[in-house]
Chain A
Amino acid sequence: MWEGFRHFADTYLMWNEGPLIWMSDVLILLTSIGIVAVLTYFKKWKWLWDEWLTTVDHKKIGIMYLICALLMFFRGGVDALLMRTQLALPNNHFLDAEHYDQIFTTHGTIMILFMAMPFIFALFNIAVPLQIGARDVAFPYLNAISFWLFFFGALLFNISFVFGGSPDAGWTSYPPLSELAFDKGPGENFYLLGLQISGIGSIATGINFMATILKMRAPGMTLMRMPLFTWSVLAACVVIIFAFPALTVALALLLLDRIVGTHFFTILHGGNPMMFINLFWIWGHPEVYIVILPAFGVFSEVVATFARKRIFGYGSMVVALMAISVISFFVWVHHFFTMGAGADVNTFFAVATMAVGIPTGVKVFNWLFTMYRGRIRMSLPMLWTVAFVPCFAIGGATGVMLAVAPADYQYHNSYFLIAHFHQVLIGGTVFGMLAGMYYWWPKMFGFLLDERLGRWAFWFFNIGFYVCFMPQYALGFMGMQRRMYTYPADLGWGTLNFISTIGAYLMGIGFLFMVAQIIYSIRYGQRDLTGDPWDGRTLEWSLPSPVPHYNFAVIPTVEDRDYWWVLKQQGRTQELRPRPEEIQPIHMPKNSGRPFLMGVAFFVAGIGFVFNWYVLAVLGLLGVVACMVARAFEYDDEYHIPVEEVQHTEAALGRL
């Protein structure tokens, strides 16, 4: 009995790994008990189910994405600090090689797929329907499915840490290293299934928002009157739709290799590992544009709002977004110039990579020209936007350096590369997402985030960023390779690494300030009573904060770009207030518990495949099928909000 228990604990709960795991187990247990206890004590279970788990409201789904993104930012950040702690000193043994491998793998995967992706989806959900004058997305039920697939995919990936063991083949998971022969544990399966499940959700989100933007715009909102954030989402959706299927295939084939014994990417029996690497980057490079384009959209909104000017060069901004989304599909080989594709192939991809700099440069100049002679207010969203410009410029310049194929033989997989991609991912995506979060926070929650604490967070994070990553460019030139878990003292890398670690901790402190800022503001933050705290330009600022669940009592008719701003200038804001006689009953989609249950079923199937427990896998898949069949026979999935209720709500908000 005891033996059996020990065996189980060692194989699945990894108790033989030592105190780090024990502590995590205890913390997770305590947190779970705490959550259950709080929900039970305050009798919030029903509230949780009715208001959140079954919701199909894009605003609530957006908030759930946001919460998950912030939690995952925390986990990815802790991973980063563990690594930087290990690298602070030469010959350090805080982490051993195996643990270091696991941590850079989970850090990279989580930051890209479970932090950046849900963060952009949070902003998609929160802003797009409001910006285009719609009451929800095209397919609200599918939207809920997307969220729960993301959620349970992320859970599956994260749970590997305490159940079965983390993946350790890097976020790129190259075979043959990631094949069964070299990577026995279930960790790699967790990676493959977690990404697969959440990836299906991402494809659905791409389809959903594409249909929403193409078909659900308010009357008069022509494409060329759309806010630039919505344009950026459209561009990102194009990329999602074209890129994600390649990831789906890459992951599926590697999974087949691992659990069925096929030979796609093995060395034996004719497999070809390069095929995985191509498929991975055919998705992987566009993926980095998926997470940067919405950030560009946020900057466009923020710059125009806080400089109080129309965006400079709107048309060229649209063309640039579209150009980037197309070119992003023709650059993937720059991730493996050194693998011997030949000079001609490398030249093509080098030139294509540099070409992305052109539309990007156009955008940067347009933002600068918009700021030029504007009456700029340095509120938090603008602060992050202004910080983005130099950071991204440096990151872009080092990117062009890496794109020079012959020179890349020197930089490839060195700390120069690490510094480069952190500079664009943090300086671009993270700064953009934070700017967007500060910008739309009042719209989501009805209060502003505290400026003073936000500035502390900003300065710690920014200074920390440069302290952390600038030394790494030099380390790269000095020969330090990525994914090294330690280094000898006599190479002279010690000082720069130590400085870099200090920078990482400064960023960690910045994050803590952000947490403090949110907690403080929940209680003391300035309430947003007007619905338009930044003197905004687009339709979402014509609504009260938080927005009633049907969004627009009466759908507006749009006559110009930045229509809300135009109306304010002309003193016509009354026109966007509903008149009682115009209000009609509103059809809304009903809540449904099925998307959540479908996520659970996928999770169960995922666990089954991870451990080759096929009974469980089949049960999970049957659950998925049952949910789909039940949906096919569901005809009664809408309800009406009666006119009186809408009038009542609007009157209570002082809008009638």
Chain B
Amino acid sequence: MAVMEHHLHEASGARRHLPMEYRDVHQSLRILGFWLFLATDMLLFACLFATYLVLRTHTDGGPTPRELFDVPGFTAETFILLTSSFTGGLATLAMRNGKKGQLIGWLAVTMLLGLSFVALEAQEFVKDALEGATMQRSAFLSSFFTLVGTHGSHVSVGIVWMFLTLLQVLRRGITPITARKVFIVNLYWHFLDVVWVFIFTIVYLSGVVM
């Protein structure tokens, strides 16, 4: 809504050099709003990490991190997710160059990588559960599954969201609005990647060396 059209009139010339998604003030305002949302989401994860750190030794005689974590499994997950963040970046780049076909292609690749990440994680969870390591078993497992599962469900939401965005690009091409949407969904994706880096180090790596 052009509640701020006075800014628009003055600024439309000055904004022309900006990337597409920032050129219209309303779109750039939404990007700011999304950054603020990410701050809250980051804090949500921070609280889950804190809970995990407090509870990770509370295994109650059940499986310990070291027994549970499967090195090849989480390494593969890490590589896949990091790569998907890179392809997401390529999608943004294609968008900025106005290459609709490439943009759609990279979004699709990113989603596929995301899907395989989620599939691997689900497989890991199922395997753990079948071995008796369920989230009801101990406080450590409760906090582990909740932290990693929250990340995993964020990724799943991200995939659906990216798909919806892709449909809009297909239908409408690259406009200031769709550009902003592509940019934001990628921002979200990179954010999840950063969270995963913390999960990788704080949960998995230090879990297997502890």
Please report A residues at the B interface, Cβ cutoff 8 Å.
134-136, 138-140, 142, 203, 206-208, 210-211, 214-216, 218-219, 241-242, 244-246, 248-250, 253, 256-257, 260-264, 266, 269-272, 275, 279, 282, 555, 584, 586-589, 629, 632-633, 635, 637-638
Chain A contacts of B58 at CB under 8 A?
Answer: 269-272
| Given A245-B47, A248-B44: A275 in contact with B54 (beta carbons within 8 A) | yes
Of the candidates B44, B136, B139, B165, which one forms a contact with A245 in the assembled complex, judged by CB atoms under 8 Å apart? B44
Tell whether B108 is near chain A: CB-to-CB under 8 Å: no
Chain A contacts of B177 at CB under 8 A?
Answer: 635
Tell whether B146 is near chain A: CB-to-CB under 8 Å: yes
Pair B43/A264 contact, Cβ less than 8 Å: no
B interface residues, how many (CB within 8 angstroms): 45
Pair B139/A272 contact, Cβ less than 8 Å: yes
Residue of B nearest to A637 (CB): B1
Pair A253/B40 contact, Cβ less than 8 Å: no
Pair B40/A241 contact, Cβ less than 8 Å: yes
A148 vs chain B, min Cβ distance (A): 18
Chain A contacts of B59 at CB under 8 A?
Answer: 270
Pair A246/B142 contact, Cβ less than 8 Å: no
B133 vs chain A, min Cβ distance (A): 13
Pair A270/B40 contact, Cβ less than 8 Å: no
Bound-state CA distance A250–B46 (Å) is 12
Pair A219/B6 contact, Cβ less than 8 Å: yes
| Given A207-B40, A271-B58: A587 in contact with B5 (beta carbons within 8 A) | yes
Residue of A nearest to B135 (CB): A262
Pair A241/B55 contact, Cβ less than 8 Å: no
B128 vs chain A, min Cβ distance (A): 14
Bound-state CA distance A242–B44 (Å) is 9
Bound-state CA distance A253–B135 (Å) is 12
Bound-state CA distance A207–B41 (Å) is 12
Pair A272/B2 contact, Cβ less than 8 Å: no
Bound-state CA distance A628–B181 (Å) is 14
Pair A242/B43 contact, Cβ less than 8 Å: yes
Chain A contacts of B55 at CB under 8 A?
Answer: 264, 270-272, 275
Binding-face segment, B30-38, B75-83, B89-97, B117-125: B30-38
Chain A contacts of B48 at CB under 8 A?
Answer: 249
B166 vs chain A, min Cβ distance (A): 11
| Given A261-B136, A271-B58: A241 in contact with B36 (beta carbons within 8 A) | yes
Residue of B nearest to A283 (CB): B47
Bound-state CA distance A41–B90 (Å) is 61
Residue of A nearest to B164 (CB): A632
B1-20 contacts to A, CB under 8 A, are: 1-7
A332 vs chain B, min Cβ distance (A): 13
B82-135 contacts to A, CB under 8 A, are: 135
Tell whether B186 is near chain A: CB-to-CB under 8 Å: no
A-B pairs with beta carbons under 8 Å apart, 16 shown: A139-B30, A208-B33, A214-B32, A260-B136, A264-B51, A264-B139, A264-B146, A269-B58, A269-B138, A270-B58, A270-B140, A282-B47, A588-B1, A632-B164, A632-B181, A638-B2
Residue of B nearest to A203 (CB): B40
Known contacts A249-B47, A269-B60, then 17 further A-B pairs from the complex at CB < 8 Å, ordered by chain A residue: A203-B40, A206-B36, A218-B6, A242-B43, A249-B48, A256-B146, A262-B145, A262-B146, A263-B139, A264-B139, A269-B139, A270-B138, A271-B139, A272-B139, A275-B51, A587-B2, A637-B1
